[in-house]
């Protein structure tokens, strides 16, 4: 069967067309690919074969997505229209068909050069659960939480592509009841199921990006796992926030799904009380910037959680406006995480610290074992789907990683 014979409602059908970067076993040149069915279109070669305009072909001939990201929304739309025509039209069928490579044969790489990486904390259920665990007896939500999207700056240089093993980090931690800290392998290694938002168009330093202009800057969405050493984090985070407990690795899915593919996933965010300050007030914004994306988390293949992104309190547009509220400029390749996606129900929590309540209620896996935190050899895989046209669902792919013993 032709690799072009992809049903319109397939998870990687014509309504999706996410971008990645691949190499083949015989050729180390990094190339831009577009997932289509079970195949990947060699996008740069397809542009040449289809006789695309030179400026458009140049964007797809790059070894990373950065030039395409920087090109801006009019170029993003032109490229997406061209890809749709090459893959679904009759005119270029013969030229494009041989440029679809079996996905299973390719190695996928980090699709763009990560500039700055920040991570937010936008799930009310997650923030409240962590508050109850880390600050028992106090208000679960800090006083600022409903007024601004709380976040921290992470380490861009340790963002790795899905499939990269994660070595259990060592660090300084203080055992419960101990007077002094000790140094060694983390005993409370966790995952955080998140979305990552990829910035395309920079903003000028000294200017702010208003809510209504977020879509001119944000290109698309990845799946992100913010690996977290809870024992290191709990000891170090006062008073400046997460540091070494999170900077050892952050895993990213290989496919960037453009915002254009998520038009059917847009949904109104939850009601906010109190009403946010004007630069964050998205009351009545059209289209809304909430996203109805359904995540799934698996440990060693066992489904352990189904976090609903639609419950997130703050949207990517508010995160963009807040990131730049002080005049900090955006750069092409900036990545910001949503924060752990947790819904209100237990089976929808996006991190082990909540699923097993910091070890007090170990999670039972179907293979008879239990987890308070991750063990060496455990593999965590996060996948997601979103509504597409005509009741179909499009896939965001998967971000996975296996824990290797500490060194």
Active site residues: 126
Minimal distance, residue 192 CB to Mn ion, in Å: 4
Report how far apart, in Å, the C-alpha atoms of 76 and of each of 260, 313, 334 are.
9, 28, 17
Which span (115-123, 180-188, 311-319, 391-399) binds Mn ion, by CB under 5 A?
A: 115-123
Closest CA to 116 of 212, 45, 199, 205: 199
CB 36 within 8 A of CB 17: yes
Q: Which is nearer to Mn ion, 86 or 197 (CB)?
A: 197
Report how far apart, in Å, the C-alpha atoms of 129 and of each of 26, 123, 138, 179, 232 are.
49, 10, 12, 26, 19
From residue 141 to residue 180, what is the string marking binding to Mn ion with x (rule CB under 5 A)?
Answer: ----------------------------------------
Minimal distance, residue 224 CB to Mn ion, in Å: 8
Q: Which of residues 37-56 bind Mn ion (CB under 5 A)?
A: none
Report how far apart, in Å, the C-alpha atoms of 1 and of each of 6, 164, 211, 257 are.
10, 33, 46, 26
Minimal distance, residue 82 CB to Mn ion, in Å: 36
Pick the binder of Mn ion from 42, 116, 192, 236 (CB under 5 A): 192
Q: Which is nearer to Mn ion, 116 or 192 (CB)?
A: 192
Q: Which is nearer to Mn ion, 12 or 197 (CB)?
A: 197
Q: Which is nearer to Mn ion, 72 or 241 (CB)?
A: 241
Q: Which is nearer to Mn ion, 226 or 334 (CB)?
A: 226
Residue nearest to Mn ion (CB): 226
Minimal distance, residue 194 CB to Mn ion, in Å: 6
Which span (83-91, 114-122, 172-180, 283-291) binds Mn ion, by CB under 5 A?
A: 114-122
Minimal distance, residue 121 CB to Mn ion, in Å: 7
Q: Does 354 bind Mn ion (CB under 5 A)?
A: no
Q: Which is nearer to Mn ion, 192 or 282 (CB)?
A: 192
Distance CA 321, CA 45 (A): 37
Minimal distance, residue 337 CB to Mn ion, in Å: 5
Given the structure tokens 């319109």, which residue do they identify? 8
Q: Does 226 bind Mn ion (CB under 5 A)?
A: yes
Distance CA 22, CA 254 (A): 9
Q: How many residues bind Mn ion (CB under 5 A)?
A: 3
Which span (41-49, 113-121, 255-263, 361-369) binds Mn ion, by CB under 5 A?
A: 113-121
Minimal distance, residue 154 CB to Mn ion, in Å: 8
Which span (53-61, 186-194, 209-217, 394-402) binds Mn ion, by CB under 5 A?
A: 186-194
Q: Which is nearer to Mn ion, 116 or 119 (CB)?
A: 119
Distance CA 396, CA 222 (A): 7
Report how far apart, in Å, the C-alpha atoms of 362 and of each of 14, 65, 189, 372, 375 are.
42, 41, 14, 5, 13
Which span (85-93, 221-229, 274-282, 285-293) binds Mn ion, by CB under 5 A?
A: 221-229
Which span (153-161, 190-198, 211-219, 252-260) binds Mn ion, by CB under 5 A?
A: 190-198
Pick the binder of Mn ion from 42, 119, 334, 354 (CB under 5 A): 119
Q: Which is nearer to Mn ion, 226 or 378 (CB)?
A: 226
Minimal distance, residue 74 CB to Mn ion, in Å: 33
Tokens of 27: 């050729």
Residues of this chain that interact with Mn ion (CB under 5 A) are: 119, 192, 226
């Amino acid at each position: 069967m032709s690799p072009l014979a992809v049903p319109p409602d397939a998870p990687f059908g014509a309504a999706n067309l996410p971008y990645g970067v691949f190499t083949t076993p015989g050729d180390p040149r990094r190339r831009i690919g577009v997932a289509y069915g079970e195949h990947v279109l060699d996008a740069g070669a397809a542009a040449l074969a289809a006789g695309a305009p030179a400026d458009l072909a140049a964007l797809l001939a790059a070894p990373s997505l950065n030039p395409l990201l920087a090109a801006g929304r009019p170029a993003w739309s032109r490229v997406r229209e061209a890809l749709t025509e090459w893959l679904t039209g009759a005119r270029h069928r013969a030229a494009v068909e041989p440029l679809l490579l079996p996905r299973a044969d390719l190695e996928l790489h980090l699709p763009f050069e990560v500039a700055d990486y920040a991570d937010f904390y936008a799930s009310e259920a997650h923030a409240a659960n962590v508050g109850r665990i880390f600050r028992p007896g106090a208000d679960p939500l800090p006083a600022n939480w409903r007024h601004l999207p709380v976040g921290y700056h992470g380490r861009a240089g340790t963002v790795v592509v899905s499939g990269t093993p994660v070595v259990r980090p060592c660090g300084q931690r203080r055992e419960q009841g101990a007077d002094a800290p000790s140094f060694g392998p983390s005993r409370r290694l966790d995952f955080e199921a998140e979305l990552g938002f990829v910035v395309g168009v920079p903003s000028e330093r000294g200017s702010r990006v208003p809510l209504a202009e977020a879509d001119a800057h944000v290109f698309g969405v990845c799946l992100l796992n913010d690996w977290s050493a809870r024992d290191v984090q709990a000891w170090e985070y006062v008073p400046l926030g997460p540091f070494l407990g999170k900077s050892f690795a952050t895993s990213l899915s290989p496919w960037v799904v453009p915002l254009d593919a998520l038009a059917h996933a847009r949904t109104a965010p939850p009601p906010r009380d109190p009403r946010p300050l004007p630069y964050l007030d998205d009351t009545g914004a059209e289209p809304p910037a909430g996203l109805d994306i359904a995540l799934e988390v698996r440990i060693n293949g066992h489904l352990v959680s189904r976090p609903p992104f639609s419950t997130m309190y703050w949207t990517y547009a508010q995160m963009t406006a807040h990131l730049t509220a002080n005049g900090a400029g955006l750069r092409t390749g900036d990545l910001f995480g949503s924060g752990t996606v947790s819904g209100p129900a237990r089976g929808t929590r996006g991190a082990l610290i909540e699923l097993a309540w910091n070890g007090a209620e170990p999670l039972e896996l179907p293979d008879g074992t239990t987890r308070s935190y991750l063990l060496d050899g455990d593999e965590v895989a996060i996948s997601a789907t979103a509504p597409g046209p005509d009741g179909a669902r499009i896939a965001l792919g998967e971000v996975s990683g296996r824990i290797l013993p500490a060194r």
